[in-house]
Structure 1
Amino acid sequence: MASSSSTPPHGRDYEGGEEQWKGNNYEVFLSFRGKDTRKGFTDYLYTSLKDAGIHVFRDDVELRVGDEFGPELLHSITQSKISIPIILEDYASSKWCLRELAQILNCKRNEGQIVLPIFYKVEPSQVRYLKGRLGHAVNAHKENEDEMIVKKWKESLKEVSFLKGWESEKIHNGHEAVLVKMVVRRVMSELKRLFQLNVPEQLVGVDNRVENIMSKIDTKFNGTWIIRIYGMGGIGKTTLAKVLYNKLSSHFEDRCFVENIRETSRREGIKCLQKQLISDIIGSLCDVSNVDDGIGILKSRFTSKKVLILLDDVDDRIYLNALVGDGSWFKAGSIVIVTTRDKSILDTAGVSHKYQLNELLSDQSLVLFSRHAFRMDSPSIDYEVFSRDIVSTTWGLPLALEVIGSFLCGKTKEAWKATSKKLEKVPHTKVQEKLRISYDALDPDNQ
């Protein structure tokens, strides 16, 4: 945010977030004139964004003692995904605010940064035409700043006035609590659009499978699409589902990925899964006292929401009943993707599309294995026979190909020969035992 003078404020290190946020990986940058709203509207907005789990840059919290004021701020703008300039009549009296705004709009043009302006007790037309104190404040900078810089600041104010944002006095008759909720909701929505699930870089044969499923989805369907991806463990169900989820995500404002359902439910219970689903879609924490309570909340709060949901590793019909029902809880056009090893779970449920994931073909298996073992699409000549022998023992299971290939990367021929002999003795259906061979060969630290 901007200070009302050029004197660097004394701040403190960020204390409220996870370690992963240290290093200035900001999601939202707030630009405002500190003297006007630091303890009022901006503080309320900042706190609400933080409570929603969003990492926000604000100078009195984020700047460290001794940091230079200008470069730190401008760098933080560049790093942020979203900038929110809070513009009011005295905004232009701060040269730092104007510098921030110019940088924000530059990032919008060159980096595609999202800019969501708030016109606080001022109309966009006043900003556009520099009426009243806005005009006087900008012109006053001519005494100490280059004429071209002041001209750039005027152009920035005009440009931001045309962006779609919020006018505080027109939101619920000026009630700021409503405005803050709207801003938080919009920010979360935009961040979700930017978010992609992590998938391996060395994918083989996934694109065709995704396109196959996408071709079956009818956008005119007046219900919820429930897509079931099933197959044995290690076959790549989760990876395929994640790629499909990423492909569809830009079309949905409300999304949720619930991973490792089988393991999480046994450790923390079904209501924990319901709480995650509710909080991710609604955007706020919600207390769920029991499973029936969770179902009631889902049914009552989600009927107007078009959602994209990925339920990973479902091994019991009870989880589907508790999380998505038959799909009628959601607005038409919603999509639920389910991965499971047990096909029988799907036979008792209404399914829009079933997709059985089979093993990779032999040539695809060799490519995937080589990408992990040699960092290229084919094995080196000296290891080609070993590679084909090992690949044949994995029966096209992506997880086994990835783990064994990574383990053998850089190993001696003796290690390759020993591993190949061990793998030949294990039936192809025993995926875990195949992976155990590579695991047991690692030293304790790597295990």
Structure 2
Amino acid sequence: MAPKNNKYDVFISFRGEDTRNNFTSHLHKALLLKNLQVYMDERLESGDEISSALLTAIQDSKLSVIVFSENYASSRWCLNELVHILRCKERYGQIVVPMFYHVRPCDIRNKQGILELHLVHLKNALEVTQWRTTLTSAANLSGCNSPKTRCESNLIEKIVEDILKKLNSLSSSSDYLNNGLVGMSRRIKHLESLLLDVPILGICGMGGMGKTTLARALFTQIYNRFECIQK
């Protein structure tokens, strides 16, 4: 069962030396522009053990994005971070989205090329078996691939859209259960479709029918699609 109150919408796991100043920073900014609460560790990796604060941030996130890059597996920090992310997926149902940045999913699954060299370099580590298993499991998840010739801005736009859909689906399901809206998804979808044609939508009816609750559920589902909101 997932933690009830998530502090963050998205946690980004990445190898700083590879993508901190390019792809990951652009992805981070794009997510913030959608009014999402995003955790991106700005500190330089140091040592092998990740901090308890970082572990807590992973657990307190609804969704984790794993930016697999050429040197991701060279970092014990990243590998231990990945282990905890998949543990949260198993225990709490956290959504995990792998992003393959200039590497192929099969490279991660089969530990080919430079990734394998990194794991061989780390062969004396006790955790290496767990790391290999975790890398394979993460690479088998549905994610996004980034060929070197693909426009990064379009790729980031696609990733953000996918993340919003996943978060909206998660929020909608949670709201239906928490607010007694089980079985009312059809009404939410109908209201959402009406907003495609009109800028303002009114909900009217007798008192106590759940108009405010319905409006809040709709707001929770669609607010991330807009650059500016007013609660």
TM-score over 0.5 (shorter chain) = yes
Aligned residue number for residue 189 of structure 1: 165
Tell me how far apart the structure 2 counterparts of residues 69 and 127 of structure 1 sit (CA, whole Å): 22
The percent identity for this pair of structures is 33
Asked which structure has the greater RCO (Cα within 8 Å, sep 6+), the reply is 2
Partner secondary structure for residue 27 of structure 1: strand
Matches within 5 A, 1:69-218: 69-143=50-124, 145-146=125-126, 149-169=127-147, 173-196=149-172
Task: Give the C-alpha shift of residue 107 in structure 1.
Answer: 1.1
Deviation at 1:51, TM superposition (A): 1.4
- The answer (yes or no) to whether the contact 2:205–2:211 under 8 Å persists in 1 is no
Distance 1:101 1:69 in 2: 11
Query: 1:235 maps to which residue?
Result: 208
Shift of residue 188, structure 1, vs aligned partner: 1.6
Q: What is the CA deviation profile of residues 248-291 of structure 1, one whole-angstrom value per residue up to 9, with x for unaligned ones?
A: xxxxxxxx439xxxxxxxxxxxxxxxxxx9x847x2438xxxxx
Instruction: Give the superposition deviation at 1:235.
Output: 3.4
Normalised by the size of structure 1, how large is the TM-score?
A: 0.41
Answering whether residue 14 of structure 2 is matched by residue 39 of structure 1, we say: no
AA in 2 matched with 1:151? T
The one-letter code matched in structure 2 to 1:141 is L
CA distance in 2, matches of 1:241, 1:114: 25
Question: For 2:8 and 2:131, how far apart are their aligned partners in 1?
Answer: 25
Q: Which whole-Å CA distance do the structure 2 matches of 1:152 and 1:214 have between them?
A: 41
User: Matched residue of 1:230: which SS?
Assistant: coil
**Unaligned ranges ≥5, structure 1:** 1-22, 62-67, 247-255, 259-276, 287-447
Bigger Cα Rg: 1
Matched-pair contact (CA < 8 Å) for 1:229–1:241:
no
Which amino acid in 2 is paired with 1:36? D
Provide the C-alpha distance between the structure 1 equivalents of 2:23 and 2:213, rounded to a whole number of angstroms: 44
**1:178 is matched by which residue type in structure 2?**
N
AA in 1 matched with 2:151: H
Partner of 1:52: 34
Summarize the Cα distance change of 1:228–1:77 in structure 2 as closer, same or farther, 3 Å threshold. Answer: closer
In structure 2, distance between residues paired with 1:228 and 1:73? 43
Contact 2:104 2:145 in 1 (8 A): yes
Q: Secondary structure at the match of 1:195?
A: helix
Q: Deviations over 1:349-380 (max 9, x none)?
A: xxxxxxxxxxxxxxxxxxxxxxxxxxxxxxxx
Gapped regions of structure 2 (runs ≥ 5): 44-48, 195-200
For these two proteins, the number of residue pairs brought into alignment is 208
Contact 1:24 1:76 in 2 (8 A): no
Whether contact under 8 Å (1:92, 1:98) holds in the other structure is: yes
The alignment status of 1:257 with 2:219, answered yes or no, reads yes
Instruction: Tell me the SS of whatever aligns to 2:30.
Output: helix
- Amino acid aligned to 1:235: G
| Partner Cα distance (1:24, 1:162) in 2 | 26
